[in-house]
Amino acid sequence: MKKTHISTLFLLLCFWVQTYAQDQNVYIFLCFGQSNMEGTGKIEAQDTISDIRLLHLQAVDCPDLKRQKGHWYRAKSPLCHCNTGVSPAEQFGKTLIQNLPDSITVALIHVAVGGCHIQLFDQDSTAAYVERAPGWMKSKLALYDNNPYKRLVEMAKIGQQKGVIKGILLHQGESNTGDQDWPNKVNKVYTNLLKDLNLAANETPLLAGEMLSAQQNGKCASMNEIINTLPQTIPNAHIVSSKYCEGAPDDIHFSSAGYRKLGSHYADVWLDYHYNGK
C-alpha cells in the first residue's frame, strides 16, 4: 500500500477515534472574563447543591476544596478560583439542565481574572499585560501560569475529549469602559478561540453580558452601549441583558441574587439561539 494511502487511513482513524470519544450529549460552555464572571457573590446554601447533569472542569488546583486542575466535578460554587463566589455560570448551567432533555449533560469551563482588560486574553499582548499588572492581580494570574487564555484553551481541549463546545460566555468590559475598539478586541480573542479549538463560527455563539445597569446605579453602565454593538462585528454574538439584575453596594458587581438572575438571562439567550436559531 502506498505511503499516501497509509497516511490518509491513519488520519481518518484518528478523526474517527476523536469523534467516537466525544459524547454529543455533553454540551460544553467556555466562561471567561473579569470579576463579574469570576464571581464575587456570597455563596449561600442553594449555591452548594450539585447535580449529576451539571459538571465543571477545574481550571486551577484547589487543595482545600479537594479539586485538581484538569479534573471533572459536579458544578457548585465556587467555580473559578479557590476563594471566589457566586458567578453567572452556575445559574446558567442550572437553567439549561432544567430546560434541556434529561439525556443532556452541561459542562462548564471557567477562567476569569478580576480587574483585567480584554487585552489580557489577546496572546499578542498577554506577556506585556502580565508584566505591568498591579500587585493584587499577580496572584490571580499566577494561578493560570500567567496566561489565562492558554489555560482556557488547554481546559477546552480536555473538554472536547468528553463533549462538544456549544457556546462561549463572556462577561468583561468594566475595565474597558468607553473603549470604542472593544468589539474588535473581543473579536480577535473569539477568532483565536475558534481557530485554536477548531470550532465553526456559525455553530459557536458568543454570549456577551451587559455591565450592571444604570437602573441599578451601575458605574460602568455606559459600556452597555458599546457591548450592544458587538453583533455588528461578530455575527454570532448575542447580548445578555442585565436588566433587573440586582447590584452589590459597590455599584460595579452584582449581588448573589443578581448573579443568579444574570445567569438565567444567559441561559434564556442560549436556549433561544439553540431552539430558534437566533
User: Annotated active-site positions, please?
Assistant: 35, 250, 253
Whether residue 184 contacts residue 191, with contact meaning beta carbons closer than 8 Å, is answered with no
Whether residue 95 contacts residue 263, with contact meaning beta carbons closer than 8 Å, is answered with yes
Q: Which of 268, 267, 278, 273 is nearest to 108 (CA)?
A: 267
Find the helix packing angle between 148-160 and 182-196, rounded to 10°: 40
Cell 471533572 -> residue: 72
CA torsion through residues 193, 199, 201, 203, sign: negative
| Ordered DSSP codes for 239-272 | EE--TT-PBPTTSSSBPHHHHHHHHHHHHHHHHH
Compute the CA torsion angle 95, 89, 55, 94 (nearest 10 deg).
Answer: -10
- Kindly state the DSSP code that residue 41 receives in the 8-state scheme: B
- Under 8 Å CB-to-CB from 256, ≥6 apart: which residues? 41, 42, 43, 44, 47, 85, 86
3-state secondary structure labels for all residues of 57-121: ECCCCEHHHCECCCCEEECCCCCCCCCCCECHHHHHHHHHHHHCCCCCEEEEEEEECCCCCHHHH
